Amino acid sequence: MCGIVGFLGLQGRAVDTRAVEAMSKALIHRGPDDSGTHFAEWVGFGFRRLAIQDLSQAGHQPMKTGEPSVTIVFNGEIYNFVELREDLTRLGYIFSSGSDTEVLLKAYHKWGTKVLPRLNGMFAFAIHDQRTGTVFCARDRFGIKPLFLYRSQDVLLFASEIKAIRGSGVYEGDNVDWGVAARYLVRGRADEGERTFFDGIVNLSPGTAFEINAAGEKREWRYWELAPDGDTTDPDAPEKFAELFEESVRLRMRSDVPVGVCLSGGMDSTSIVCSMARFIERRGMDPENPLVAFSHNPARFDESRYLDGTFEQTGARQVPLHFDPENLWDLIPRVLKFHDEPFHSLTAVVSFELMKLAHDHGTPVLLNGQGADEVLGGYQNYFHPQWFSLLRRLKLSSLFKDVREFSRAHHFRQKDLWSKLIRQLASHVLSQVPGHGAFRKFRKGEPKSPDWFDPGFASQEHALPHEKNINLNETLKGAVEHYPLPLYLRTEDRNAMAHSIETRLPFLDHRLVAYAFSLAGTHKVSGKWNKNILRQAMKRRIPESVRTRVDKMGFPVSQDDWVVGVLYEPICDLLSSQKTRERGIYSVPEVLQSLERAKANRVLPGRVGNTGNWALSLKIVRIVQFEMWADGLAGNLKF
């Protein structure tokens, strides 16, 4: 896990070595163990290393092979590098290190851009191929590892984080992309596409690669994409899924440094830690160095009854995070500094501290459960697309059974569920009528622009095509590719790398994800159960108390309490400031009135079952973040 930067001079522009060195310096937190540069004609690479595989100097980057040379800078892990190295050895390649970087470099030397389908990993890399006079860049299938781009007429910059591009001395201005800002503040959406909060700085899309030459001629393509139309029903699916999952965990435990796990009382992380424990037991467990599990288990969201069974089964040692909300106000700008952009909620601040805890305990690699909810249908809102699919296919007996079981287990009134389903059907039918979109804007009951925001600002927010999905697999595809997974992956990467921690995500092995998407919706959502196939696959593999729980907490924090408690006064001061009022975005009196009513009535007692109140705290926290972010960018920033 590392940080990479690049300066590509186009149309005759020479490499700016000082820009590369400044960009690399900005990413020292991503790679404190080593650094290096590569300069050749129009190409400049910079690298910061966090040593995970082959801790010796043999893993130094930039790394070269061949003559004319092929040079790589690489951020991430190639989990199947052992198998690839065996293939390449049979083809006559000789290796001088135990690093996955050397394997990737020589795999490209052999197979060129066609190497991408062979890779199982998380990665963002750039290769200067002096044989072809091109630079080749690629990002992993799900965008676990970041790669940002900025292009002007005669230069292309790339970097693992935005701050490196901003600090290059080449990026012109810090102009805000107000469309992205509006979508974030009004709807709470971010990281949905290529655009960032900074105008002109974009993400390379997940599963995408490009080649570029010195003339600036660029060819970009998608090398992998999810197929959402799977409808396979397989009685052996749970066992096949379990085999793929166990293999994914095994590969992600390859490391020359200690590997730990982030653990909650939920099924995802429990499945991971139990699989890790089985692998360690087969390999020969060291009783003096047990598996270490880092957890956050606040009293308000106590999951100890689930955690206890997992610790008993695995023998893992718990390292709990004791989070002090008194530090929140100072932590928010610190986390923003590492993210470069506003994040989704104060959950990100708590997970930032969890990564610091892992760093302080000398565990530089963690396995985590990100991606399971989006791939397997882990949230309650995924039940509705499945029911709608059953309704459209007239599978009414299955539909009635599923709605009945869900309402009983999750304490919803059936009539409310049916009412929502009927409205969804009516909306879908009307959407097929020409002109319905224009009519819909003016019909009674259509949500108005939020009262908190200037109408001109709010009007820049618009629905994206993936939000209209109604089939479960299509909905999950949107969740994986657009929202919310990309935002969660950004949180995972920046929080971990802020503390020089590498996180690995077994549920995002591309083989596992492709298999899950090949299956019918009933394998994911059925009756009262979400993530149905994982529950079946984990029979006799994890504690039954976890496998059969129907409630879901995720990574809960007391954000709603904090907003009307420890954060109340500083939030009011920030909202009342001259800078906030002159920003030209908000109706500050409306925001303050909502906050004051919440404080007076204490209407934010809990997250579970009280989503409207949680939503209020989310909106306020987004404004707080945006103001802190904008103030750091330019205090006089105005819409």
Q: Which of 162, 158, 151 is nearest to 196 (CA)?
A: 162
Q: What is the pLDDT of residues 86-101, one digit of tens each?
A: 999 999 999 999 999 9
Asked whether residue 447 carries a pLDDT value surpassing 50, the answer given is no
Mean pLDDT (the chain) is 90
Does pTM top 0.85 for this prediction? yes
C-alpha distances (whole Å) from 619 to each of 467, 608, 626, 628 are: 20, 17, 11, 14
Q: What is the pLDDT of residues 361-373, one digit of tens each?
A: 999 999 999 999 9
Asked whether residue 610 carries a pLDDT value surpassing 70, the answer given is no
Which pLDDT band holds residue 448 (cuts at 50, 70, 90)? very low
pLDDT of residue 439: 45
Asked whether residue 282 carries a pLDDT value surpassing 90, the answer given is no
Asked whether residue 223 carries a pLDDT value surpassing 80, the answer given is yes
Share of the chain above pLDDT 90, in %: 73
Sign of CA dihedral 484, 486, 489, 491: negative
pLDDT of residue 424: 76
Location of structure tokens 């397997």: 376
C-alpha distances (whole Å) from 540 to each of 226, 238, 240, 545 are: 31, 12, 15, 11
pLDDT of residue 466: 57
pLDDT of residue 429: 67
Asked whether residue 436 carries a pLDDT value surpassing 60, the answer given is no
pLDDT of residue 393: 85
Give the mean pLDDT of 572-591.
93
Q: Which of 307, 309, 287, 312 is nearest to 295 (CA)?
A: 307
Q: Could you tell me the residue ranges of all domains in the chain? A: 2-222, 237-376+483-547, 380-433+450-481, 559-633
C-alpha distances (whole Å) from 412 to each of 404, 405, 417, 418 are: 9, 10, 7, 11
Asked whether residue 405 carries a pLDDT value surpassing 60, the answer given is yes
CATH class of 237-376+483-547: alpha beta
Asked whether residue 611 carries a pLDDT value surpassing 60, the answer given is no
Which pLDDT band holds residue 435 (cuts at 50, 70, 90)? low
pLDDT of residue 458: 87
Share of the chain above pLDDT 70, in %: 91
Q: What is the pLDDT of residues 162-194, one digit of tens each?
A: 999 999 999 987 789 999 999 999 999 999 999
Asked whether residue 440 carries a pLDDT value surpassing 50, the answer given is no
Asked whether residue 285 carries a pLDDT value surpassing 80, the answer given is no
Q: What is the pLDDT of residues 253-269, one digit of tens each?
A: 999 899 999 999 899 99
Q: What is the pLDDT of residues 210-221, one digit of tens each?
A: 999 999 999 999
Q: What is the pLDDT of residues 128-173, one digit of tens each?
A: 999 999 999 999 999 999 999 999 999 999 999 999 999 999 998 7
pLDDT of residue 577: 94
CATH superfamily of domain region 2-222: Aminohydrolase, N-terminal nucleophile (Ntn) domain (3.60.20.10)
Asked whether residue 450 carries a pLDDT value surpassing 70, the answer given is no
Could you say which DSSP state residue 189 is in? Answer: -
